[in-house]
Amino acid sequence: MAFWWPGSSPACTFNWRRQETRTSEHRVQLVVPGSCEGSQEASVGTGTFRFHCPACWEQELCIHLQDAPEEQLKVPLSALPSGQVVRLVFPTSQEPLMREELKKEAGLRELAMRLGFGPCAEEQAFLSRRKQVVAAALRQALQLDGDLQEDEIPVVAIMATGGGIRAMTSLYGQLAGLKELGLLDCVSYITGASGSTWALANLSEDPEWSQKDLAGPTELLKTQVTKNKLGVLALSQLQRYRQELAERARLGYPSCFTNLWALINEALLHDEPHDHKLSDQREALSHGQNPLPIYCALNTKGQSLTTLEFGEWCEFSPYEVGFPKYGAFIPSELFGSEFFMGQLMKRLPDSRICCLEGIWSNLYAANLQESLYWASEPSQFWDCWVRNQANLDKEQVPLLKIEVPPSTAGRIAEFFTDLLTWRPLAQATHNFLRGLHFHKDYFQHPHFSTWKATTLDGLPNQLTPSEPHLCLLDVGYLLNTSCLPLLQPTRDVDLILSLDYNLHGAFQQLQLLGRFCQEQGIPFPPISPSPEEQLQPRECHTFSDPTCPGAPAVLHFPLVSDSFREYLAPGVRRTPEEAAAGEVNLSSSDYPYHYTKVTYSQEDVDKLLHLTHYNVCNNQEQLLEALRQRRPH
């Protein structure tokens, strides 16, 4: 069954020749209504003009004098034979008549994007290489005799939630724990959302990161997490942000507050700007040496609907960026460039990774503009930041409706007013789906995932391909999870290690995900913890559904401090002198790990790293049993 209209991607090229007459000084406009290019000007002599327009429309070429638009010549495109010169006489009120020569040539039909619902060829090749690494790791971890056949190797994935610095730090600790157990090489995918994407992006700068001791990257993390952040709003930094924002605008990127948040966030996490790009991470996958990272965002309708009323999952990998819902993907280095009907219209430079991190974590930009607009100095900014962020508690899954920024501006905001004033707080990226046209039976396609809370999916003219820009947001505006890419049936994931960094309810987000999957018809095990587990969650919980072969098993690691209070390491009890190090404040109203915190004390970051490392290592047997159960026999 077709999903996209097969003729939705041609271009027509017109070779134009205008004979010189007494009316030659008049400029002529050529227009194909609905085309990407709009109107183009022609004068005496020859010229080449290209229009991109859907072949399924009955289009016409409109020719009129620029200073007399009422005098038009309309030529149906279907009436122009390709490759042949057609002579036209343009009747005008002036003498003599204007005479034109026109030759239509079909443009390239090859797309600059991939249309399809399965993994791309590069991802499939990676999985083939990764399976050899996974097989060796499983053989050692499970103490198996003999080699594993390809169909005996399970697809294991890590799903990390968001949570700011807390999520980034915790993911480092848990990955180090899996590395210590020899199980990190059993993992084929790692998905991240919001703060956990920062950890993934940092680690993936090293092509061999998972094959090395993670102590070095962890020490670097500690340095960045504990450093003073006041300098990110120093005058020199504000000037640098402004310069880069202006340069991006000059190149053709839409301006929005997310771009500013991206630069501020980079300064929070790094001492110097990083030139690393998402496409550079392919080197870390070249021989299957690391899990494939997938970063998640949510595409919305900006000001018109809340995220519960309309949202589409967008995934970013080193290979591709795209929408599983539509089966449309582009190479990651082309994200941000201008497309029309699948054709690359204007290629923009590949963005630095910080620009994407700004999108993946732009929940924090929700109050950035207000903090900037009211603050006249850095201390005022941070006071406002904490106050506003506290009102937007991510743990409660806020609904977003884009608001217009206030008109009153402090001195900090004055650096950016000519670039950002009065722009709504919506992320804006050139829409690579723009101009694509659905097949008439798209709604019946088995892979088209409808959004149950909206009627828009039945109205193709109101869906994303009709929009000039994407509005990509932090997935925390809907669900604090990065699991959706792993639930694509074509990826066939067997086991998901759910790393949950929420502090309000150990199962809340996983249960919301389960409800979402049930509504959308996505195979997923029921998440039904007992009342005892709800009251006293353990370090690790298993959820599976033997009656649903398509559903993955889920090994859920909530962020809790259970036996860690009493044990320094698995089987090693704490001495009275070590007891204080086992007390991790995760529940009180003044806890040090709130997602608005951008600086941790050395003690707090050490405790969180040790806790998350311990919680993984202390559940080695449960991890091994899950691997045994999910290994096809």
Residue-wise pLDDT for 454-504, tens only, equals 555 555 556 777 788 898 989 988 889 999 999 999 999 999 999 999 988
Residue-wise pLDDT for 379-435, tens only, equals 555 565 555 555 544 444 444 444 444 444 455 555 555 555 434 446 789 999 988
Give the helix, strand, coil percentages of the chain, each rounded to 5. 35, 20, 45
> What pLDDT does 232 receive?
87
Is residue 304 flagged as an active site residue? no
* One domain, residues 136 and 16: no
* One domain, residues 130 and 52: no
Closest CA to 432 of 118, 191, 111: 111
Burial class from Cβ neighbours inside 10 Å (0-12, 13-18, 19+) for residue 590 reads exposed
User: Catalytic: which of 474, 494, 500, 604?
Assistant: 474
Token duo for residue 496: 């998901």
* One domain, residues 41 and 171: no
> What pLDDT does 467 receive?
83
Name the domain boundary from 110, 136, 157: 110
CATH of the domain at 227: 3.40.1090.10
Residue-wise pLDDT for 313-355, tens only, equals 999 999 999 999 888 999 999 999 999 888 898 999 999 999 9
* One domain, residues 125 and 106: no
Q: Which of 179-183, 263-267, 293-297, 385-389 has the lowest mean pLDDT?
A: 385-389
Confidence of residue 19 (pLDDT cuts 50, 70, 90): low
> What pLDDT does 396 receive?
46
Residue-wise pLDDT for 504-550, tens only, equals 889 999 999 999 899 888 999 999 999 999 999 999 999 999 999 89
What b-and-e string marks burial along 406-436, b requiring 16 or more CB atoms within 10 Å of the CB?
A: eeebbebbebbeebbeebbbbbbbbbbbbbb
Residue-wise pLDDT for 249-289, tens only, equals 999 999 888 888 899 999 999 999 999 999 999 999 999 99
> What pLDDT does 303 receive?
60
Look at residue 4 and tell me if it is in a domain: no
* One domain, residues 145 and 259: yes
8 Å CB contact between 359 and 351: no
Note the pTM of the prediction, 2 decimals: 0.86
CB atoms within 10 A of CB 385: 19
For residue 216, give the amino acid letter.
G
Residue-wise pLDDT for 53-98, tens only, equals 665 556 777 777 666 666 677 777 777 777 777 777 666 666 555 6
* One domain, residues 126 and 102: no
Report the domain count for the chain: 2
Look at residue 3 and tell me if it is in a domain: no
> What pLDDT does 78 receive?
72
Name the domain boundary from 54, 82, 110: 110
* 160 SS3 class: strand
What rounded mean pLDDT belongs to the chain? 82
* One domain, residues 106 and 127: no
Token duo for residue 47: 């010229």
Is the model's pLDDT at 200 over the cut of 90? yes
* One domain, residues 130 and 101: no
Name the domain boundary from 90, 110, 130: 110
Q: Which residue range(s) make up the domain with 19?
A: 11-110
* One domain, residues 176 and 72: no
Look at residue 174 and tell me if it is in a domain: yes
CATH of the domain at 76: 2.60.40.150
Is residue 498 flagged as an active site residue? no
Summarize the confidence of residues 122-141 as an average pLDDT.
Answer: 97
User: Catalytic: which of 194, 196, 317, 361?
Assistant: 194
